[in-house]
A = this chain, B = another copy of it.
């Protein structure tokens, strides 16, 4: 369960697949996502409802029009939610991150990833009727992400409010560009798979539950054989100035905890104040990480766990010279020239 493989051809009715789990199950569970139907988040909801099938007999993706509506449903114990968290090209989905920092009663307990891949759709039977498309329709971002396909077919552009709306409303003579889920959802014919210019973009989503339900959900993941977890944690040092962050990270280092991502954010509505969000390879109940959290709280800082979920397989390659960006300054002990800091190259790269 809770794998993060992409669901290329999702079934819109999640499997009733309990995979031999002996856990007692809630019979039905709503999973709220940001619509419209046919969005990448819908695709993530379908992927999550499959991945989490061991936790409920039936997980039903339910569309919402705003993230606060999703948060309210989850907080009220009225189901789970799924929100976009991070994209490997665009970075964190910062408004959702800010909302999770400030959410009183909502926590992430699972994780799914979806490839940002576009299929090209035409109305059902359109090709058999001999219709030749002359226009591409999608959200402007979708149009921008499929420029090569559009140019090859000499299509003109028709922007839509969303990729899903473009697919839903596609007419003869148009090609709608959207997530693969739209084909099944709107009974469209698929003209092409993966027609986006850039391959490899991926969005990671968090699955949310009421905070009080999280321990039970985590226990089920453990019972299902998951032993390693990741945690997303938020800190606010109440002091400011040089060193507050260094002092905080020293505590993590001294405990041997590996961070996999880190970001600072202004506290909502208070420019010049900062919260920090870190993803770490540890679970809060592990003694070494619990010790860190205790120490940070007793130092007077504000701390909150935003999510705990089974660890994803991630590469962890060493950084080699050929991976480094262009420019910059970098020497090994063997290659460092004498008086390197007086060279024009150092001045150029460091601007000192």
Q: Identify the A interface with B (CB < 8 A).
A: 88-92, 94-95, 97, 101-105, 107, 139-140, 143, 157, 159-162, 211-212, 214-215, 218, 231, 234, 236-243, 245-247, 249-250, 252-259, 261-276, 284-285, 289-290, 293-294, 297-298, 300-305, 308, 314-319, 323-333, 336, 340-341, 346-352
The interface residues of chain B lying within 8 Å CB-to-CB of A102 are 325-326
Instruction: Point out which of A95, A97, A103, A161 has the most chain B C-beta atoms below 10 A from its C-beta.
Output: A161
* B258-A241 in contact (CB<8A): yes
The interface residues of chain B lying within 8 Å CB-to-CB of A256 are 242-243
Which residue of chain B lies nearest to A333 when distances are taken between CB atoms in the complex? B300
Q: Which of B104, B218, B324 contacts A302 (CB 8 A)?
A: B324
The interface residues of chain B lying within 8 Å CB-to-CB of A268 are 325
Which residue of chain B lies nearest to A330 when distances are taken between CB atoms in the complex? B302
The interface residues of chain B lying within 8 Å CB-to-CB of A212 are 348
A59 to B308, alpha carbons, bound, how many Å?
Answer: 52
Min Cβ gap A210→B in Å is: 10
Min Cβ gap A111→B in Å is: 15
Which residue of chain B lies nearest to A92 when distances are taken between CB atoms in the complex? B91
Min Cβ gap A271→B in Å is: 5
Min Cβ gap A90→B in Å is: 5
* B304-A325 in contact (CB<8A): yes
Given A211-B327, A236-B330, A273-B317; 12 other pairs, CB 8 A cutoff: A103-B326, A139-B140, A212-B348, A236-B319, A236-B328, A271-B315, A284-B351, A297-B331, A297-B341, A300-B330, A302-B329, A304-B329
Min Cβ gap A230→B in Å is: 12
Q: Which of B143, B236, B302, B351 contacts A308 (CB 8 A)?
A: B351
17 residue pairs A–B, Cβ–Cβ below 8 Å: A90-B95, A91-B263, A140-B161, A240-B319, A243-B253, A245-B253, A245-B262, A263-B263, A267-B324, A271-B314, A297-B340, A300-B330, A300-B332, A302-B325, A302-B329, A303-B350, A304-B329
A314 to B328, alpha carbons, bound, how many Å?
Answer: 29
The interface residues of chain B lying within 8 Å CB-to-CB of A236 are 319, 324-325, 328, 330
Using known A-B contacts A102-B325, A350-B284, determine if residue A91 contacts B265 with beta carbons closer than 8 Å.
yes
Which residue of chain B lies nearest to A276 when distances are taken between CB atoms in the complex? B262
The interface residues of chain B lying within 8 Å CB-to-CB of A88 are 266, 271
Which residue of chain B lies nearest to A166 when distances are taken between CB atoms in the complex? B159
The interface residues of chain B lying within 8 Å CB-to-CB of A245 are 249, 253, 259, 262
Using known A-B contacts A290-B352, A350-B305, determine if residue A316 contacts B266 with beta carbons closer than 8 Å.
no
Min Cβ gap A167→B in Å is: 14
A212 to B348, alpha carbons, bound, how many Å?
Answer: 7
Which residue of chain B lies nearest to A284 when distances are taken between CB atoms in the complex? B352
* A319-B89 in contact (CB<8A): no
Q: Which of B247, B273, B347 contacts A319 (CB 8 A)?
A: B273
